[in-house]
Structures are given as C-alpha cells and as structure tokens.
Structure 1
Amino acid sequence: MKNGRKLWFVMLATSMLLTLFLSACGKGGTSEGSSSDPVTITYYTIDSPDRTFVEKLIPDFESKHPNIKVKVDKAPYEQFDSKLQANIAAKKSPDITSHFGYGGFMEYYNKGLLTDLTDIMKADNFKASDYGIQDELMNIYKVDGKTYGIPSNNYVTLMLYNKDMFDKAGVSYPPSDYEDKSWTFDKMIEMAKKLTVVSDDITKTQYGVDFGWGELDMRPAYFGAKVYSDDAWTNGGKPSETYFGSPEAIAAYQKWIGLIWDQKVAPPPAFSKAVAGQFGDPFLSGKIGMSVVGSWSLASQKDFNFKVGVAAVPIGGNPDVRSVLYVDPLFVLKDSKHPKEAYEFIKYMLTTEVQEKSIELSGGTPPVNDNAKEKYYNSFEGVDPQVIKQVYEGANKYGVESYNHLISNYSQLNELLINEFQSVQNGDQKVEAALPGIQEKITKLLERLNK
C-alpha cells in the first residue's frame, strides 16, 4: 500500500512536470520572445519609393522571425518631423526610424527620444565589422561611448554632369579622381562659362553649374570658413558661438552666390523653379551642365533624357572638406515597448544580402555595408562602375557629416536660414548686407533653444 501510494505520487509529479514543460515550450518556442503571440513593431519613414521599399522586405524578415510583425508608417518629407512629434506626444511612438526629415540625430538625442542600444548590442556581441560597417561611421552616433543609432545607408555629395551638353560645347569632362589637384572651384567656373547660354527665350537658356553643396549653413565649410564654434561637436550640438557675420563666412557666401549674380554661370531661383516645376529637378531638364548634389540624385539617372557622367567635387577653400556625408542610421525610439525586437529588425537591414536587395528595390540606395558596395557601383546603366567607386571612395575620404544630423534643434535653425537667405538668392540683397542681420537672428534663436 505504501509502495503503491509512493508510485502514485511519482506518476503525478511526472505528469505535472511534463505539463509544465510542454507549456513552457508553447510559450517560448520562438527564437525571440516568451509568448506565442507575435509582437508588432512600427517602422516610420518618408513616403517615397527610395524609402518605402522596406515594405517589400518585411515578409522575408517575418518568415525568419515569426514572433515579430513589422508595420510601416510613413509621411511626406515636409511632414515627417511634425508627424513624429505628434505621434510621440500622443503616446503612439514608432519603434524604429531615422532622421529622414529636417531634424537630425542630435536634435532627437537632446530631446531624449532615443534608446541607448549599448547593453542590447553588448549582450548580443554585436560587431560592426560583421556587417561591413566602418568604425568611424559607427562613432557618429555615439555619445559618451554609448550607441544611440546604427548606420544603415551612406549617401555622399558628388557631381553629376550632362555629357551631351559637354560634347556639344566641345568641353572635356570633369575628373572623377579626388586626388587630381588641377580640379578646382575656379576650374569648374571656367568650364561652366563655356556651357552657359543666357537668352530671353527660356527654352534656349542653359547654365553651366548648379552648386547645391549641402544645406545653407554647410556651404561656408567648403570654402574653408566655419559658422559654428568648435564646442558644438562636443557638447551635444549646441554651439556657444556662431560666425555667420564673420568676414570669412561673408566671403564664402559671396563665392557661392557669386556663381548666380557675378559669374552668371548658375541658375537663379526663378529659372530653377520654372524648369523644376516641369521636371522635378533642374538638372533633369537637361539645362544644367554640372550639378553638385547628394548621391540620391544618381538613382534618378534612368529618368534622364541625356547621357550622365559622375565626377568629383572640385577643391574649394578647404581641400580636406569636399563632400557632405549623409549617413542615415536606424534608431530605436525611447518609448518603444519592444526595443529588442526592433534591434533584430535593424540587424536584418544591415546584412549583406538585404543591403544588396535594398539597392534593387529602392532604385539605388547606397549601402553602409562595404560588402554590398560593389553591387551598388554596378547598379547604374551607362555609368562606369569604376568611376562611381572612385568618386564614392573620394567623397567619403574628404567628407564631413551633415550639420543637420549633428546640430541640436536643426529644423528650426534651417527654417530661419531658408527664409532669411531668400532675398540674397533672389538677388534683392547683397550677402554683406544680409549676413549681419542673419547672424543676430540666429544668435537670438539659439539662446532661446539652448537654454
């Protein structure tokens, strides 16, 4: 009797353990979570084909991570920042995004919007080299040694040029080699003069160059002048001083504006607006010989009705700063309820296979993963892949990260600059007359924002 009772207890205990084991397997059988019910994370991006391609990657990711569902939320570029702020205020924060709008990394960081990924990455033994990411790019999104973003794309500034226009004018093509010391800003002007035709008939008018090198506050850097004090790069993007009214900054802006009104080789805003309204980009109209732009414009080359070439940005006043870099990271926002699952999706986006696939799906998004770059260089029909590689490597070597990613409260600063520079770009006011007033307004704005 005693032995029978003991046997009964053993069977009961075994049954209970088996039940608990099966229950545990049912709850933790997926690779990521502790529940059989999948979690949903939201990826927030711009509503344009070169960004929403991510939707086509989701089925593959979800098949590999059955406990994670991914939802894509999107907004037009102009509404990106405002919608993000509204969603955060309404406790509807997305899980993953980037600085796809006017605002940038430091603005997000200083507002406390970003998750510190350091511990998650350490527990996962994350190594940038496993994803072909250079350490200097990873360092852009670190503060005090802590990681708040992981690079996913690597845009640069480069020059596109209209081969047909060059051929018709009998002008030699600009070089793609960043080590060619003869390729200077003055040499570019010399070429541009040979390409420019100004007529009362807009259909006959064409300009030699459109120099859209970075945002308005970045352009002095190309000419060797600075507009922000050095502490901006060490104190969270909050410069203690600005120098928009300095002689060096005035001289730099005069060189850029001088392309329009003194040299008359660059299109005035009215012309750009007229042809851009029809084509979306003045260069696409075929009426611009050389265009200094972000490399996202290279993805549009299939839409050109002329042969396009790719060249280096010429040497300006600062030989070490010739390209603005736009390294887009992916962030996990602070209010994310599923930071580990969001991190898994970010890692997926960095793999060589997915970075190569993204190039195809987006029409030419430049990868951050070095192992996928050959695929990128070979993605533009009619353009020599070795030339694109040479330009890209040179642009990265002589590049500086865009200020809109590194200056706090940049969206408001940028809006002020755009409004205040309109009269200068339109030719209604001289640079030297406008900049002291701009300097005063920027000083007051930063005093208010950086309290």
Structure 2
Amino acid sequence: MQKRGKPILITLASLMATSTLLYGCSNSQPAAGGGDKPGSSKEKVEITWLVRTDPNMIDWEKDMISGFQQANSNITIKLEQIPQAEIDQRLTTMISSGKVPDVWSANWANSGFATYNKMGALLDLTPYVKTDADKMATINKDIMNIYNINGKILGIPMLAIGSFMFYNKDLFDKAGVPYPPTSWDDKSWTYDKMLDTAKKLTHDVGNADKQVFGILNSMSPNLQSWGFGGDFFKADAYKTAVMGDPTASSNPANKEAIQFNVDLIQKYKVAPNQTTLDAVSAIGDPFLTGKVAMVVNGGWGFWSYQSAKFKWGVAPIPYHEGRKVPLFVDPWNISAKSKHPAESWEFIKYLVDPKGGGKTFMEKTSATPADTSLADLWYKQIADKVGLKVEDVKVLNEGAIKNGREADNHLIDKFAVISTTIGQTITGIWNGQKSVDDGLQEIDKNLRSLNMK
C-alpha cells in the first residue's frame, strides 16, 4: 500500500537497487492464452511477478514462489523487485514496449490504479472471477466492487486499510486527559473536542528537547477535506477517472477543513510547522519520537508503530457531518498484454487464498485483509501485538470501512501530477504566506491549467 502525501511534507529518502530474482528452472515456450475465456495450458511457461523492493517481504515472496511452483510444475515465477519511486517510470517503459509484468499491483506505483487503467494496461478478469467465484466469495463485496469498472473486474483486492487517529497513551496519562472513544458513532468526538484535547497535551513549544505537540494530521489536503464532508473534486471524477473541473475553492467544506488545519499550526500552535516538523523528522517518525501526542494516519500505523517505546491507542477520525475517510485498497492485477493470463490468474488465486497466501501475507505484514474470512484472525493478531482489546480493534476497523471511500490517487487518472500541483500552493497556506481563500482559488486555477481529460 502506498503511503499518502502529507499536509506538511516529510522527506524520506529510500533508494535501493533494482534486482531481478529467478526461482526454479525454466523451459519457457509460448503458451495458449490472451483470450477472453480462462483456460490454462500445461506447457512450460514463465510469468513475471513485479513487486516493490521491500526486505521485509522477500521471505514471503520466496515462499509464495516456492509453494506455487511445487503445485504447478509447468509454471516458473520470475520475481522482479523495483523501488517504489522507480515503478512509474519503469512500468511506463514496459507497457509501451510490450514487455510487461504479468502480475503486479497498480497501486504500488505513485500514479495508482486509475492511471494504469486509462492506459489500457489492465486485463479484464471478469471471466476468471466468474469461473472461480467460490474462490473470491469471502472478499468484502464493497471492497471488490472498487475495481469493478463499467462491469469489468480489473483487480482482486489483497488488503483494505482504513484511516485512524493514533495517540500516545503515556502522554494522555501524564496530562490527565481522557482517551478518545473507539466508536465511530460517538458524535461527541468532534474536531473541536480534538482541538481542546490537543491544547491540553501541547507544551514547551520552542524548546526542542521538551516540546510536545498535541496533533499532526498526516493526510493530504484533499483527504483532510473529506473529513469535513468536502472534496477538491466532483463525484464524477472518481467514477470516470477524469479530474474535470476542480472544486477546491467552490466547496465551503474545503475552506472549513483547510482553515481548521492551518489554525492548528498558526493560531493554536498545537501542530508543528514545517521547520519544526523537519527537525523532529530528522530524529525519526514524529509520533514514535514521543513529540506528537495524536496523529491522523493510514492504518499502516497498526504495524509501523509497534516499535514505540510507549503505550498507544487508536481512535476514530473526529466526527463531522458528511465525514468520509480514505481507504487504501491494493489489488493484484494482470497486465492486458500478458502472454500467459490463465497461468497468471492461477498465481493470483494462490496469493489471495485465505488459507494460504492471503493468510500468510496478513501475518507477515499485519495489513488489514480484504477477505472477510481472515477478519477475526487479524483482530486478534493486532490486539495481541498492540495491546488493544479485540473488540476495540473490530469496532475501529469496521467503522473505518463503513465511513471510508477509496483514496483519491487510486481512482483519478494522473494523480501524481495533480498532487504535485496542489503541493506547490498548499505549503504557502500551511505556513501562513497565503490565505486559505487565495490559496484554494490558486489551486483551482492551477489544476484547471493541467487540462486533464
């Protein structure tokens, strides 16, 4: 899953060499495939599995390859690892040349699913899903439908991560502040209540050794607006994948959301400004340093915060009329130009099998599974690792799914360019150089100039 842009930019450099690993012997020959109907040949074939470079995942990937090849002696899996920052460029080259990976995830690049779908790079999996409907039966139907575009199923969800507020229990206890609720239906947990809580937790601002900030919202500007019932784009943008005319300045909920978050930084000083955040980030993740009491973040916090040297909890994103929060749903995809789609489909089934690859992927990553049959195991796994009650984890996750919608960069074409364009202005808004009104009008103007159709 891809971590999203932040309202205050945190720069993380990660450059790892691309490597290609080949497991098993291959006597590759052209195989039947590419048609609209499923049907696997028993000829020797090789399929390429493209993944993001991640040392933590290599053992799982090796296990998947080894187990699948033992059960399918005619298929060799070639693993290709690419650092996430390079995936877009490499994939574009691959797609244009026709030398595509067979199996990959369109959301593991920076551009996202919509961009690759618009390029015609994704195979229609509908006939395969119909044939193996029983194998997909336990995947959450709403999650599955995210990648059902105009009646074509273009991806099989492997995970479905919600968004939450993570908080430092030790700092709450020290300040004598009650913990936030766990229920998304608790309307007392509002943004004003969050601000009041942040004020009580913030202290010694300006003293680098002692300062603690009450809150950090790590979501992108548009996703912050979702929390207030706003949106920088019209509803059609998420259905057609075409940005269309932006609504950053015309939707009053956007102004409310962005002004609120500016005030956290500039007026109330309960959130770090860019300079302070850069300094804190040089030490490590702002939340893990203990310098931030609450952080709004994607559900990857469930595992990335497990190394914390303090007790922490999880709460809903505050209530607001019309509130929506982002879901980050990553699918497995097959390239439209794959020479071996039937064999690639067999591999995807192996990867998402809730008794096999799907289960071990969850155990390895702690990522929230899209398969409902794994939900109880995930609740217990997270509860045991984090020290939460199983019931609380369940309530939190179910609420995030209920109030969630798929992330903007997954569903709108060329979103990497859109995000960069927004970022050129939003920094000036956060640091007080531009008013919210002027900044949002500038964002609208700059987005329209992209002329994305």
Q: State TM-score, norm by structure 2.
A: 0.86
- Tell me how far 1:51 sits from its aligned partner: 5.1
1:255-274, aligned counterparts within 5 Å? 255-274=260-279
Per the alignment, residue 347 of structure 1 pairs with 349
Q: Which residue does 1:77 correspond to in 2? A: 84
2:114 corresponds to 1:114: no
TM superposition shift of 1:119:
2.1
Match status 1:56 vs 2:63: yes
1:411 is matched with 416
TM-score (norm 1): 0.86
Contact 1:207 1:266 in 2 (8 A): yes
Is the CA contact 1:32–1:67 (under 8 Å) kept in the aligned structure 2?
Answer: no
Which whole-Å CA distance do the structure 2 matches of 1:56 and 1:278 have between them? 35
* Residue pairs, 1:307-322, within 5 angstroms: 307-319=311-323, 321=324
Q: Distance in 2 between matches of 1:49 and 1:292?
A: 27
Paired position in structure 2 for 1:187: 193
Task: Say whether residues 1:305 and 2:309 are aligned partners.
Answer: yes
> Quick one: which amino acid aligns to residue 341 of structure 2?
P
Answer whether contact 2:42 2:74 (CA < 8 A) is retained: no
Stretch deviating more after TM superposition (269-278 or 170-179): 269-278
Alignment CA distance shift 1:60-1:289 (3 Å): same
What is the letter of the counterpart of residue 302 of structure 1? Q
Structure 1 Cα separation of the partners of residues 433 and 67 of structure 2:
55
Q: Residue by residue, what CA displacement relative to the aligned partner does 1:211-249 show, whole Å, maximum 9, x if unpaired?
A: 123x33222121122321232233x21143211122612
Q: Distance in 1 between matches of 2:444 and 2:407?
A: 20
Relative distance call for 1:145 and 1:113 in structure 2 (3 A) is same
1:92 aligns with 2:103: no
Q: Distance in 2 between matches of 1:128 and 1:274?
A: 49
Whether the 8 Å CA contact 2:135–2:349 is kept in 1: the answer is no
Q: 1:211 to 1:317 in 2, by over 3 A?
A: farther
CA distance in 1, matches of 2:262, 2:152: 41
Task: Determine the C-alpha separation between the residues in 2 that align with 1:61 and 1:226.
Answer: 43
Write the distance in 2 (CA, Å) between the matches of 1:148 and 1:247.
32
The 5 Å alignment of 1:235-314 reads: 236-246=240-250, 248=252, 249-279=254-284, 281-314=285-318
The code of the aligned residue for 1:325 comes to L
Match of 2:435 in 1: 430
CA distance in 2, matches of 1:309, 1:175: 10
CA deviation vs aligned residue, 1:167-209 (integer Å, no higher than 9, x gap) = 1111111111112121111111111110011333211111111
Q: Which runs of 5+ in 2 are unaligned?
A: 1-30, 33-38
> CA, structure 1 residues 318+424, in 2 after alignment: closer, same or farther (shift >3 Å)?
same
Does 1:442 find its partner at 2:442?
no
Residue matched to 2:205 = 199
Judging changes above 3 Å, is the alpha-carbon distance between structure 1 residues 50 and 291 closer, same or farther for their aligned structure 2 residues?
Answer: farther
Query: How much does 1:282 deviate?
Result: 0.9
1:102 aligns with 2:110: yes
Greater mean deviation of Cα atoms: 49-58 or 216-225 = 49-58
Measure, in 2, the Cα distance between the counterparts of 1:49 and 1:216: 31
Q: Structure 1 residues 262, 434: closer, same or farther in 2, change over 3 A?
A: same
2:25 is matched with which residue? none
The offset of 1:129, in angstroms, is 5.1
Distance 1:257 1:54, change over 3 A: farther
Cα displacement (A) at 1:148: 0.8
Name the amino acid aligned to 1:71. K
Distance (Å, rounded) in 2 between the aligned partners of 1:247 and 1:241: 12
How many residues align? The count is: 410
Distance 1:145 1:396, change over 3 A: same
The structure-2 alpha-carbon separation of the partners of 1:232 and 1:200, relative to structure 1 and needing over 3 Å to count, comes to closer
User: Please, which of 385, 388, 400 is the counterpart of residue 390 of structure 2?
Assistant: 385
Shift of 1:338: 1.0
**Is contact 2:160-2:370 (8 Å) kept?**
yes
- The one-letter amino acid paired with 1:405 is H
C-alpha distance after superposition, 1:120-168 (max 9, x if no partner): 333x2424653x1122111111122111111111111011110111111
Identity rate, percent: 32
The CA deviation string for residues 94-140 of structure 1, in whole angstroms up to 9 with x for no partner, is: 11111112212221111111111112333x2424653x112211111
Residue number in structure 2 paired with 1:153: 159
Q: Distance in 1 between matches of 2:40 and 2:79?
A: 20
* 3-state SS in 2 of match to 1:57: helix
Q: Give the structure with the higher percent helix.
A: 1
Shift of 1:32: 4.2
Greater Rg, structure 1 or structure 2? 1
Amino acid at match of 1:357: T
Q: Partner amino acid for 1:203?
A: D
CA pair 444-134 structure 1, distance change in 2 beyond 3 A: same
Cα distance change of structure 1 residues 312 and 128 upon mapping to structure 2, 3 Å threshold:
farther
Cα shift at 1:289: 0.7
**Aligned AA for 2:85?**
E
Contact 1:137–1:327 (CA<8 Å) still a contact in 2?
yes
Inter-partner Cα distance in structure 2 for 1:185 and 1:228: 23
Question: Aligned residue for 1:7?
Answer: none
Q: CA RMSD in A?
A: 2.0
